[in-house]
Chains A and B, each alone.
Chain A
C-alpha cells in the first residue's frame, strides 16, 4: 500500500525535478556573467542530446513520463514562469530582455499563422510592429487615450492596414510575395522617417508608460516584504497576454481552421478543389497574424516610451522570420523557444559586441543547413485515434463532425 503510494508520487516529483533543472540552467545562463557559461551549457545540452540520440529508449521514457503527468507538468511550468521576476530581482536588465523575448513571442506567433500555418511569406513583420507601436504612441500622445485602449487599437489598426493591402498580397505567392512584403517594409520605414506627424527620424518621445486605473507600472512591485523591479509589472501583464495569444494559436491549430490552413499551405490547388475558400482564409490569417504583431508593437511603445524608425528596420522582420523558422513552423512551443533563444543569445554575446552579428549570421546559416526544418519541426497530424473513435460510433456521428470537433496533432 505504502509502496504504491510512493510509486504514484515518484512520477510527479521527477517531472517537477526535471523542469526545475531545465529552468535552473536557463536562469544560470542569464545571470552568470561570464561568457563561458554559454560554452558550458552548450556542451552539457549537446551531451544530453547525444545521449538521448544513442539511447532512444530513455528519451521515450521521459516523454511517457511527461505525457502521464500532464497536470503536474503544467502546474510546474506556471509556477516557474511566475517566479521568474523573483530570480531576476537584482538584475532588471535581464527581466527586460525576457519581456522583449515575450513581445517577440507574441509577434512571432502572429507571423507563424501566416508563415507556418498558411505558407504566406511575410517579410514586413517589423512594418506591422511599427504600425501598432505608432498607433498606440500617437493616440496616447495626441488624444491621451489610456494604454489599455491604445494597445487593442494598435492591434486593430495593424489588422485593418493588412486588409487594405490585401489585393497585392493575395495575387502573389512565393518569392513574388516576399518581394511585395519587402517593398512594403521599406515603404513604411521611409514614410515614418519623413513625416512630420510621426516625429520623423527622432520618432515619438515621452509616450506614457503603461498604467491602469491610476496604478502606474513604473512603481516597484511590492509583494509582502519583497520589492521587485518595476519591470515585474510589465512581466506579469505580458505573460498574461502572451499566454492568451498562445492559447488562441494552439486552439486554432487544433481546430478545423488549422487543418484548413495546412491544406492551403501544402497545396493551394487541392484546397481550392476541396471547396476551401483560399481567398477568405488567406485574408483572415493575414489580418489576424498582423493583429498579433501590432499588439506586440503597441505594447512595446508603452513599455519603453520611445519609438523611432530604426527600431523597425528590415533586420527586425528577418529576426521575426528566423524565430518562426528556427523554432519550428506551425509549432507554438517551438516558437516560444525560438524567441527566447534568438533574443537572449545576442544579448548574452554583447560581451563580444563587435562580433555578435557576425556570429549570429554564421549560426543562422549553419543551423538552417543542418536542420532545414527548424529545431522543432511540425509533426504530421496523426488521425489514428480519430479513426478509432469514428469506428466505435459508426453510423451515429458523421466523420466530418468528429473532425470538426477535434483535430488533434
Chain B
C-alpha cells in the first residue's frame, strides 16, 4: 500500500466521520442564530433519533411490514425524523424558550439538564436500555477496492445521504420563505418581527429542522457502526458544538467545514501520530482550543468588533 493510498483511505474515513459531525454541528449553529443560545441537549437528539428508528424497526418487524430494505429505510428515516423533530419542538417550548433571555450560563445548564433527562429516559424506558443495541443493516455489506483503498458500499450510500441532507438544508435556508425568516431572525429578531415575521413559528421550525438533522446523523451513525448506545449523545454533542464553533458559530457552511475538519483531524491523528489511536480526541480538542485562542470567530466567521 503506497503512502498516497493510505492517505486516501484516511481521507475517506475522516470524511465519513466528519459528515456526521457536520450534520450535528449545523443544529448548534441554527439554534445559536435564532435564539442566541447553546443547546447542549442537541447531542441527545442524535441518540434519540437512532433509538426511535430502532423502535420503528421493531414495530415494523412485529407487524410484518419488512418488505424491502429501501421501503424500510425510507420508513425509518421519515418516521424518526418527524418524531424526533416533534420532541425537539415540544422540549424547546417547555424548557429552552423560557430561558432564552436568561444569562448564557442558565440556558446552558437548563439544556444540559434536559439532555440528562432525555438520556436517562431512554436508558430506563427502552427495554434493557443500558446495553449496546444492535442496529439493523438495510444496506449492502460488501465492499469494493479502488487500488488498495477499501470502500464499503454502505459508506458510500451513507455519505450520499449526508450530502443530500446538507444540500436540502441549505436549499431550505437559502431558497424558501421560512428560510429567509430564519435568516432574518438570526440577524435581528426584533427587526424581523417588525417586518411581520412570526418569531415563535420561526423558532419552532428552526428547532424542528435542527432535531431532524440530529436524527438523520444518529441513524447514519447506527447504519455505519451497526450498534448504538444510550450514552453516545454526550460526545456527539460536544464534537458537534466544537465543529460549529471552529467553523464560525452562526454560519451553516462553517459548521460543515468545522465538522469535516474535526473528522479528518481525528482519523489522521489516529493513523499518523504515535499513541494516536487512544489519544485522537485529545489532539482534536487541542486543535479546538488553539482555534479558540487564535481565531475565536472560526474559519468562516466574520470579525466582530465590540461596540461600547
Interface residues of A (CB under 8 A from B): 115, 121, 167-168, 171-172, 174-176, 178-180, 182-184, 186-187, 190-191, 193-194, 269, 314, 318, 321-322, 325, 354-355, 357-358, 360-362, 364-365, 368-369, 372
Nearest-Cβ distance from residue A305 to partner chain B, whole angstroms: 27
With A and B bound together, what is the CA distance between A340 and B286 in angstroms? Answer: 35
Among the listed stretches B71-79, B114-122, B151-159, B217-225, which one makes contact with chain A, having 4 or more residues with CB under 8 Å of it? B114-122
Inter-chain contacts of A358 with B (CB < 8 A): 116-117, 120-121, 124
Check if A354 sits within 8 Å of B241, measured CB to CB. no
Q: Does B140 lie at the interface of the complex (its beta carbon under 8 Å from any beta carbon of A)?
A: no
Contacts A183-B285, A365-B114: A325 and B105 contacting too (C-beta < 8 A)? yes
Minimal Cβ-Cβ distance residue in A for B115: A361
Check if A365 sits within 8 Å of B110, measured CB to CB. yes
Contacts A171-B293, A172-B296: A354 and B113 contacting too (C-beta < 8 A)? no
Extra contacts, 17 of them, besides A176-B245, A180-B292, A365-B113 (Cβ < 8 A), are A121-B105, A171-B292, A172-B293, A176-B292, A180-B289, A183-B242, A190-B281, A325-B105, A325-B109, A360-B116, A361-B113, A361-B116, A361-B118, A364-B116, A365-B95, A368-B109, A369-B99
Q: Taking chain B's interface residues, is the majority helix, strand, or loop, or is none over half, making it mixed?
A: helix
Inter-chain contacts of B296 with A (CB < 8 A): 171-172, 176
Interface string of B115-134 (1 = CB under 8 A from A): 11110110010000000000
The 7 residue pairs across chains A and B that have the minimum distance between CB atoms: A361-B117, A361-B116, A364-B113, A358-B120, A183-B285, A168-B293, A365-B113
Nearest-Cβ distance from residue A164 to partner chain B, whole angstroms: 12
Nearest-Cβ distance from residue A44 to partner chain B, whole angstroms: 26
Inter-chain contacts of B110 with A (CB < 8 A): 364-365, 368-369
Check if A179 sits within 8 Å of B279, measured CB to CB. no
Would you give 25 A-B contacts (Cβ < 8 Å), ordered by A?
A115-B105, A121-B104, A168-B289, A168-B293, A176-B292, A179-B245, A179-B292, A182-B238, A187-B282, A187-B286, A190-B281, A193-B278, A269-B306, A314-B238, A321-B109, A322-B113, A325-B106, A358-B117, A361-B113, A361-B117, A365-B114, A369-B95, A369-B99, A372-B103, A372-B106
With A and B bound together, what is the CA distance between A364 and B113 in angstroms? Answer: 6
Inter-chain contacts of A357 with B (CB < 8 A): 116, 120
Interface string of B76-119 (1 = CB under 8 A from A): 00000000000000000001001100111110111011111110
* Size bin of chain B's contact surface: 35 or more
With A and B bound together, what is the CA distance between A167 and B38 in angstroms? Answer: 23
Inter-chain contacts of A179 with B (CB < 8 A): 241-242, 245, 288, 292
Inter-chain contacts of B289 with A (CB < 8 A): 168, 180, 183-184
With A and B bound together, what is the CA distance between A368 and B275 in angstroms? Answer: 42
State which of B95, B115, B285, B294 has its C-beta within 8 Å of the C-beta of A186. Answer: B285
Check if B98 sits within 8 Å of A369, measured CB to CB. yes
Minimal Cβ-Cβ distance residue in B for A177: B292
Inter-chain contacts of A191 with B (CB < 8 A): 279, 282
Inter-chain contacts of B288 with A (CB < 8 A): 179-180, 183
With A and B bound together, what is the CA distance between A167 and B289 in angstroms? Answer: 10
Check if A178 sits within 8 Å of B108, measured CB to CB. yes
Nearest-Cβ distance from residue A136 to partner chain B, whole angstroms: 23
Minimal Cβ-Cβ distance residue in A for B113: A364
Inter-chain contacts of A175 with B (CB < 8 A): 32, 38, 104, 108, 245, 249
With A and B bound together, what is the CA distance between A174 and B241 in angstroms? Answer: 14
Nearest-Cβ distance from residue B154 to partner chain A, whole angstroms: 29
Contacts A175-B38, A369-B98: A190 and B104 contacting too (C-beta < 8 A)? no
Interface string of B42-80 (1 = CB under 8 A from A): 000000000000000000000000000000000000000
Minimal Cβ-Cβ distance residue in A for B37: A175
Q: Does B308 lie at the interface of the complex (its beta carbon under 8 Å from any beta carbon of A)?
A: yes
Q: Does B14 lie at the interface of the complex (its beta carbon under 8 Å from any beta carbon of A)?
A: no
Contacts A175-B38, A180-B289: A372 and B99 contacting too (C-beta < 8 A)? yes
Check if B308 sits within 8 Å of A269, measured CB to CB. yes
Check if A174 sits within 8 Å of B245, measured CB to CB. no
With A and B bound together, what is the CA distance between A325 and B289 in angstroms? Answer: 25
Nearest-Cβ distance from residue B307 to partner chain A, whole angstroms: 10
Nearest-Cβ distance from residue A306 to partner chain B, whole angstroms: 22
Check if B292 sits within 8 Å of A168, measured CB to CB. yes
Nearest-Cβ distance from residue A108 to partner chain B, whole angstroms: 14
Inter-chain contacts of B234 with A (CB < 8 A): 314
Contacts A171-B293, A179-B245: A194 and B109 contacting too (C-beta < 8 A)? no
With A and B bound together, what is the CA distance between A321 and B116 in angstroms? Answer: 15
With A and B bound together, what is the CA distance between A116 and B194 in angstroms? Answer: 37
